[in-house]
Amino acid sequence: MRNKAVFAALTVAVLVFSGWIAFRPAAVDGTAELIRAYKAAQTLNYSGSVVTTINYCNNQLRSSSNVCCDGTAERIEYTSGPLKGKIVATRRKTGDVSDATLDLMLENYSAKLTSRDNVAGRDVNVVELTPKHKGNPSKRLWIDSETGLVLRSEDYSFDGSLRTKTVFTKVSYSRQDNQAKGNTDVLPVQFVKKMDKPDVEKAVGVKVSMPEYVPAGYVLDGISVHSCECSCSHKAAHIRYTNGINSISIFETPDSHTCGALDCGSLCPKDGGCEIRNACQARVALASSGGKNVIVVTDMPEQEIARITNSIR
Q: Choose one of 168, 187, 206: the last residue of a domain.
A: 187
> What is the Cα–Cα distance from 57 to 32, expressed in whole angstroms?
36
HSE-CB at 293 with a 13 A cutoff on CA atoms is 18
Percent helix, percent strand, percent coil in the chain, to nearest 5 = 20, 40, 40
How far is residue 239 from each of residues 83, 84, 97, 222, 231, measured CA to CA in Å?
A: 28, 32, 20, 6, 22
Helix axis angle, 31-40 to 99-108, nearest 10° = 160
- Same domain membership, residue 142 and residue 216: no
CATH code for the domain in which residue 304 is found:
3.30.200.100
At 65-124, the pLDDT tens digits run: 999 987 677 889 999 998 898 888 876 554 445 678 899 999 999 999 999 999 999 999
Question: Is residue 13 assigned to a domain?
Answer: no
- Same domain membership, residue 225 and residue 165: no
What confidence score (pLDDT) does residue 237 get?
92
Question: Is residue 168 assigned to a domain?
Answer: yes
* Domains identified in the chain, total number: 2
Q: Choose between 7 and 196: higher pLDDT.
A: 196
pLDDT reading at 173 higher than 60: yes
What confidence score (pLDDT) does residue 170 get?
95
> What is the Cα–Cα distance from 65 to 74, expressed in whole angstroms?
12
Q: Which domain holds residue 74?
A: 23-187
CATH code for the domain in which residue 39 is found:
2.50.20.10
Distance from chain centroid for Cα 137: 9
What confidence score (pLDDT) does residue 41 get?
83
What confidence score (pLDDT) does residue 288 get?
75
Amino acid in the structure at residue 199: D
pLDDT reading at 26 higher than 60: no
At 177-220, the pLDDT tens digits run: 544 454 455 555 555 678 899 999 999 988 999 999 999 999 99
> What is the Cα–Cα distance from 12 to 25, expressed in whole angstroms?
17
At 227-282, the pLDDT tens digits run: 765 555 678 899 999 999 999 999 998 877 655 443 333 334 344 444 334 445 56
Question: Is residue 212 assigned to a domain?
Answer: yes
